[in-house]
């Protein structure tokens, strides 16, 4: 996958990258390619194309590892009972914490909805990579919207490619096959163009740039004794913030109040 991403980046590093991408997602023989609506629609496709590539890029938040874990069903789980928040009121001397302390004005929720948790071992194998746990904050409506817009972008790309493929054949007649009893199959044809997404929506319209999307925590050190990556919070704009827990670990029971 890294080689594929590098190849795409190299391809679109050329001076004519705009027209190159436009002809991938919009019929290259169209007469209105410079129309403002076409430019807007192609720009929307470009934003979602880049967004889809970022999902497979390796970085501080390795979402690509989550794809593999979920695909194979190993080292991954979905939870709907997970609550993480910051609260100003801690447990009392009896090890109890009032429910209101976790839901009142003195509390800020970090994870308060469905989450996907997965295990991964990032880094060079020769160092003996550490084991990390990553928690992804899942918003079904956001995921469905993102998936639909990415699918629309690639539908346009595949439609243009299919039309180019079939239109450059010498004869469609050769594509017909005799099925017997005088029945012949029709020549294949490409699906209809799905249309442009004029004026968006763009990725930043779906998710706030500062919305928390994930938390990463190291579980072990590297086998060579070097430290693992620090724990971190990740945001939708691609930034992250490292953090370290230095206080004692306390166990408490939530009670009414």
Q: Kindly provide the residue ranges of all beta strands, DSSP E only, lying in 90-167, ordered along the sequence.
A: 96-98, 107-111, 115-120, 132-137
- How many domains, in total, are found in the chain? 1
pLDDT for the residue numbered 44: 95
pLDDT for the residue numbered 134: 92
Q: What is the pTM of this model?
A: 0.76
211 within domain boundaries: yes
Instruction: Give the residue numbers spanning the domain of 46.
Output: 2-165+191-255
130 within domain boundaries: yes
173 within domain boundaries: no
The whole-angstrom separation of Cα 144 and Cα 206 is: 10
145 within domain boundaries: yes
Residues 6+ apart with CB under 8 A from 79: 114, 115, 117
The whole-angstrom separation of Cα 108 and Cα 144 is: 26
36 within domain boundaries: yes
118 within domain boundaries: yes
* pLDDT tens for the chain, residues 1 to 257: 677 777 777 777 777 888 888 989 998 888 888 899 999 999 999 999 999 888 887 777 877 777 778 777 778 888 998 888 888 888 888 889 888 888 888 888 888 889 999 988 876 666 667 888 999 998 888 889 999 999 999 999 999 998 888 776 655 545 555 556 665 556 556 678 899 999 989 998 887 767 888 999 998 888 777 778 889 999 888 889 999 888 888 888 989 87
pLDDT for the residue numbered 60: 79
63 within domain boundaries: yes
171 within domain boundaries: no
**Would you say 35 and 27 are in contact if contact means Cβ atoms under 8 Å apart?**
no
């Amino acid at each position: 996958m890294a080689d594929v991403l590098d190849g795409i980046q190299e391809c679109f590093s050329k001076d004519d990258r705009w027209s190159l991408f436009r002809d991938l997602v919009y019929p290259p023989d169209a007469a209105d390619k410079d129309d403002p609506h076409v430019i807007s629609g192609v720009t929307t496709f470009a934003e979602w194309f880049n967004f889809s590539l970022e999902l497979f890029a390796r970085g501080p938040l390795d979402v690509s590892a989550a794809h593999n874990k979920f695909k194979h069903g190993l080292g991954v789980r979905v939870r709907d009972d997970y609550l993480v928040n910051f609260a100003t009121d801690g447990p009392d001397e009896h090890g109890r914490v009032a429910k209101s302390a976790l839901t009142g004005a003195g509390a800020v929720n970090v994870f308060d909805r469905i989450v996907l948790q997965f295990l991964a071992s990032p880094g060079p194998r020769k160092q003996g990579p550490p084991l990390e746990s990553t928690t992804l904050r899942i918003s079904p409506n956001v995921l469905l919207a993102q998936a639909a817009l990415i699918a629309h972008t690639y539908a346009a790309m595949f439609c243009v490619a299919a039309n180019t493929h079939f239109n450059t054949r010498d004869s469609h007649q050769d594509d017909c096959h005799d099925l017997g009893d005088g029945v012949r199959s029709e020549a294949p044809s490409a699906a209809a163009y799905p249309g442009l997404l004029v004026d968006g929506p763009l990725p930043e319209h779906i998710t706030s740039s500062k919305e928390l999307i994930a938390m990463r925590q190291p579980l072990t050190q590297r086998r060579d004794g070097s430290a693992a990556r620090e724990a971190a919070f990740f945001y939708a704009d691609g930034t992250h913030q490292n953090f370290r827990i230095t206080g004692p670990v306390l166990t408490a029971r939530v009670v009414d109040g």
